[in-house]
Structure 1
Amino acid sequence: MLDEQVVTTETHVLHPHRHLLISGVIAALALTTPVFAVAYWLTISAGTWPIVIVVHLVAVLISAFVVLRYQRTTVTVSPEGIRERGFLGGASEIRNDEIGSLCLVEIYRDSMFDTQPNLFILDTSGSARIRMRGQYWSRADMDHVSDVLDRPIVNPPDSVTLSELRSSRPDWLYWFERVPLLSWL
């Protein structure tokens, strides 16, 4: 029997966890529904309810914008390279021949014993060009990136805390993670 290697030639578009979007929408509704219900109840008799409608419409438009931005957040991977379109609209791209390695680091979550995978796509100089955080991307998505790019994933032997990563590889982190007070984001 011959061993066959499957070569992936098509482009795959990956999306972040859908449950985060659903949880966010439910939380926004749980927060705003009682507030606007009371605001309408208090302002209808006074005749100032049009102001509440305007504020409510602004809140709905902001929520719709956030949902749209979340749905447009993607990682597109093909044998030629990988491209990330972030929540705020920024895009990062790296061609496969520019990739030095894929490093999967297990990072301890805030004061907990469980870890979360973080896939760092490093260029040939060792700089992190794209990061897939376990909060938003599944481990299967990270493995899929490795398969499509036909690159092995390098796993450090031990899990690390965010503080350890901040001191050893601050350039791999987002700007707000480099500041300890903002790392809860």
Structure 2
Amino acid sequence: MTEVRGTDVRTQTFRPRSPLFGQLAVATGVLTVPVFAVLYWISVPVGSWLVVVALQVLVMLIVGVGVIASRSVFVQLHDWGVEDHWPFGFTSRVRSSDVDTILLIDLYTGNGTETVPQLFALDGRDTLVLRMRGQIWTRSAIQQVAARLGAPVVHAPVPMTLTDFTRIEPQLLTWFERRPLWAVRAPRTLAASADRRVFEQ
């Protein structure tokens, strides 16, 4: 569950779902153990196993650094807006006055049956200034951030697949979420009046 910590009545801190990064570390271990087992089986007879050991240590260090860095990830609500904190000291400050529109949608996950909420906060030029993914944050945290920003909220009437959303708003997604065949941008963004009417039907 997301940890909520309030320093006063106007400030709240939300942290990612607690099992998330632990699950990633476990998944990495499950995936790498068979790979390294094969590498050891191949390298030991030829005497190159020290290279495999070094590679395994490197992978473990990277995973360890990732888990430790994840502890510095949080979103903090203030009177003036939102602070988005990411690993290694990266911080994005989004003032409520800078947000023109908030898109709240539910995206289907990979298995095609479950959905997760997604928040996209856009400024007056339809530029993305804040995104919150339901894979990381709880629905409650996302809703409270949207409420604190105070901008008009555009809801998708039904859940969408990543494919559908990419066809409409590819610029709001990261490069690894987009696909070349889907990268045709719509003439106007969802924040435009016509698209907003479609979303609110």
TM bucket normalised to smaller: 0.7 to 0.9
Aligned: 1:9 with 2:28: no
Q: Which amino acid in structure 1 is aligned with residue 126 of structure 2?
A: G
Q: CA deviation at 1:46?
A: 8.9
Q: CA deviation at 1:132?
A: 0.6
Question: What TM-score comes out, normalization by structure 1 length?
Answer: 0.72
Q: Which moved more, 1:144-153 or 1:73-82?
A: 144-153
* Deviation by residue 1:28-67 (Cα, 9 ceiling, x = unmatched): 3334456667849x85x99876555433432221121121
Between the aligned residues of both structures, percent identity stands at: 29
Aligned residues between the structures: 175
Secondary structure of the structure 2 residue equivalent to 1:175: coil
- Do 1:109 and 1:115's aligned partners in 2 also have CA atoms closer than 8 Å? yes
- Cross-structure match for 2:126: 126
Gaps of 5+ in 2: 1-7, 183-201
CA–CA distance in 2 between the matches of 1:104 and 1:87? 25
Secondary structure of the structure 2 residue equivalent to 1:58: helix
Q: Which amino acid in structure 2 is aligned with residue 131 of structure 1?
A: R
Q: CA deviation at 1:150?
A: 4.5
Structure with larger RCO (C-alpha < 8 A, sep 6+): 1
Change (3 A) 1:180 1:75: farther
- Cross-structure match for 2:148: 148
- Cross-structure match for 2:105: 105
Secondary structure of the structure 2 residue equivalent to 1:72: coil
Gaps of 5+ in 1: 1-6
Aligned ranges for residues 1-185 of structure 1 at < 5 Å?
8-10=9-11, 12-33=12-33, 39=40, 43=44, 51=51, 53-86=53-86, 91-110=91-110, 112-151=112-151, 153-179=153-179
